Amino acid sequence: MKRYKRPISIAVSVLILCIIYSRIKPEELSKVFLDCDLMWMIISLGMVIPLTGFTSWRLQQLMPPGSGMGAGEANKLVLAASTLNMVLPSKMGDIAKAYFIRDRGYLSGTLSVSLVVFEKTCDMLSLLFWCAFGLILYPQKDAFFWTMTAGVMAGVTLGLLLLGSAQFANFFFGMFRKITPKGISQKFKSLQESWQEMQQHFWQDRLQLAKVAGTSIFIWFLHMVQIWFFTLALKATVPFIISLALSPLAILAGLLPLTFAGVGTRDQALISLYEGHFDATTGAALGLLCTMRYFLPAIGGLPFLRTYLATLKTQQKAATDG
């Protein structure tokens, strides 16, 4: 079933895009881009550079003192992981990053996985934080937005409990191990072990923990600003606080394991969520620009992909031989 997962996700993405673009005239979409504000377009797309830089700097801060990882190496890791995340299922590019960190001798194998788990946890919690912040201040909440606000707040609470309480984390993972099939239960066991090591390692230095958490929140604030800049580039009038509430919901929709790299679900979410502020054609254009947020770093990681692939092949061979 695993080998069919990626073709199925691509097929679902294509199907959703076909439905979206069956309702949009190509000449109208072209006109949106031709009439865009070029300065804001350059600024918004150019934000992938500082975003990559801050993400790389955070990776350096996550490494233990004396690990020897420089800024150049961290940038290569982040960019190559972005490339692999576009083609591998379930964000396996980040798991490959953990193997690569171990392969270069920066950390032990289990600790490198723990680092990646902590990094992704910080990302998710930061995204949920800004989503909750925006939704709380969102002025026109109906039943849907009240439900989303409650759900996001519950997600933030759950994430903080998992991160801060070892007892709650063990209870949570243990519960899921009991109610899931054996194959999935084993994955939860591995995640639980990595989570325990992550908690033990990162809670030793609370000042460093606060620095990494603050950096993650700032990075995701820049992500939200970038999407708002996209709306300015498309000459759409959307207050920043509105965008701060809506854009994280679209990103969360793109994280659902239904489509290829979120393409399709994220696009439709943007069109539906912003329908009170601009038409579907502009929403589709915004969806394309949001896809570029992932595509540009992936292109930037191509020169470093050979090293990454060699690491992956080594790990797969070791697993087969074992």
Residue ranges per structural domain of the chain: 2-21+46-321
Report the C-alpha gap between 224 and 47 in whole angstroms: 11
pLDDT score at 139: 87
Lowest mean pLDDT among 64-68, 69-73, 225-229, 290-294: 64-68
Two structure tokens written together for 35: 């009439």
- pLDDT tops 80 at residue 310: no
Q: What is the mean pLDDT of the chain?
A: 86
Tell me how crowded residue 150 is: count the other CB atoms within 10 A of its CB. 12
User: Using CA atoms in the order 46, 94, 257, 251, what is the torsion angle rounded to 10 degrees?
Assistant: -30
pLDDT of residue 321: 56
Q: What is the mean pLDDT of residues 298-322?
A: 70
Eight-state DSSP code of residue 47: T
> Which pLDDT tens digit goes with each residue over 66-92?
777 888 889 988 998 888 887 766 566
Tell me how far apart the alpha carbons of residues 30 and 33 are, in angstroms, rounded to a whole number. 5
Model confidence, pTM? 0.88
What does the pLDDT look like over 122-161, one tens digit per residue? 999 999 999 999 999 998 888 999 999 999 999 999 999 9
